[in-house]
């Protein structure tokens, strides 16, 4: 631990696995006290790896009372909130707009966009009251470029980008930086789960080829970028939408 987050208090959503888990663990290793929210129950496993610096909280980010309680847990325990990482997100459909059910559309928007709105709604005032800090929202290059095959997901992530910029205008003068990280292809254990090892390898090869660097990234690499954006090293950055995609988005521009 190098202590880049010593004395800070953070809330991380989607902390049960993937990028949320990696971010929560890295912030804790760097000295932060972390409240790790997730709907799955896997936040308990994340907390168990946090050397006593992570408190797990059950949270569906689409439910206002649960998000408010999660932020309240951080403030009641530590008397402050410095960092909010809105990581939680889902993708439920890959196909034509006409094939998308209204219920699936609504659920994707509720988690991916409304969830970040609720995080900012309850988190921003707490950070202002603590003297300022950072909100980092998880977008996606799917909100910047469009495959044509994931309309609900792409629309939700484009909304996150717009919400980030609006929140930056509102809260930066109050000492809260608001930025958006847009990962590209992130290699996780879930890839190819239904297709077997050969299908997994084909998918990784296809998606990795879209990057100018010829590979995908990992949750841990994304977490390192998130740590930097949340730290004082990025103190003059706000309203930034940062693709972390190995150049995929400029290849498609």
List the domain boundaries for the chain: 9-188+218-243
At 28-83, the pLDDT tens digits run 999 999 999 999 999 999 999 999 999 999 999 999 999 999 999 999 999 999 99
At 186-219, the pLDDT tens digits run 997 767 665 678 888 888 898 899 899 999 999 9
Catalytic: which of 122, 146, 153, 171? 153
Q: Is 153 a catalytic residue?
A: yes
CB atoms within 10 A of CB 192: 16
Burial environment of residue 100 by CB neighbours within 10 A (0 to 12, 13 to 18, 19 or more) = middle
**pLDDT tops 70 at residue 86:** yes
**Is the Cα dihedral 40, 26, 171, 81 positive or negative?**
positive
Rounded to the nearest angstrom, the gap between the alpha carbon of residue 116 and the centroid of all alpha carbons in its chain is 9
At 104-147, the pLDDT tens digits run 999 999 999 999 999 999 999 999 999 999 999 999 999 999 77
Q: Please tell me the predicted confidence (pLDDT) of residue 207.
A: 87
Looking at domain 9-188+218-243, which CATH architecture does it have? 3-Layer(aba) Sandwich (3.40)
Q: What is the distance between the alpha carbons of residues 64 and 68, in angstroms, rounded to a whole number?
A: 6
Q: What's the pLDDT band for 253 if we cut at 50, 70, 90?
A: low
Whole-structure pTM value: 0.95
Measured in degrees and rounded to the nearest 5, phi and psi for residue 53 equal -100, 0
Q: What is the distance between the alpha carbons of residues 15 and 36, in angstroms, rounded to a whole number?
A: 5
């Amino acid at each position: 631990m190098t202590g880049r987050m010593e004395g800070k208090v953070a809330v991380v959503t989607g902390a049960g696995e993937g990028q949320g888990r990696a971010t929560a663990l890295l912030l804790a290793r760097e000295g932060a006290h972390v409240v790790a929210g997730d709907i799955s129950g896997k936040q308990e496993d994340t907390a168990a790896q946090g050397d006593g610096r992570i408190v797990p909280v059950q949270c569906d980010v689409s439910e206002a009372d649960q998000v408010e309680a999660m932020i309240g847990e951080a403030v009641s325990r530590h008397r402050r909130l410095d960092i909010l990482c809105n990581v939680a997100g889902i993708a439920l459909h890959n196909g034509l707009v006409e094939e998308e059910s209204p219920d699936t559309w609504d659920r994707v928007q509720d988690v991916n966009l409304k969830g970040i709105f609720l995080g900012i709604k309850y988190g921003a005032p707490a950070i202002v009251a603590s003297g300022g800090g950072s909100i980092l929202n998880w977008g996606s290059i799917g909100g910047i470029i469009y495959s044509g095959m994931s309309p609900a997901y792409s629309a939700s992530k484009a909304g996150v980008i717009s919400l980030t910029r609006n929140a930056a205008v509102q809260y930066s003068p109050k000492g809260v930086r608001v930025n958006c990280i847009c990962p590209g292809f992130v290699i996780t254990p879930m890839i190819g789960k239904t297709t077997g090892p050969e299908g997994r390898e084909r998918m990784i090869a296809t998606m990795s080829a879209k990057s100018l660097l010829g590979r995908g990234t990992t949750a841990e690499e994304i977490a390192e970028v998130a740590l930097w954006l949340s730290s004082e090293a990025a103190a003059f950055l706000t309203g930034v939408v940062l693709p972390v995609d190995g150049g995929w988005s400029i290849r498609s521009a």
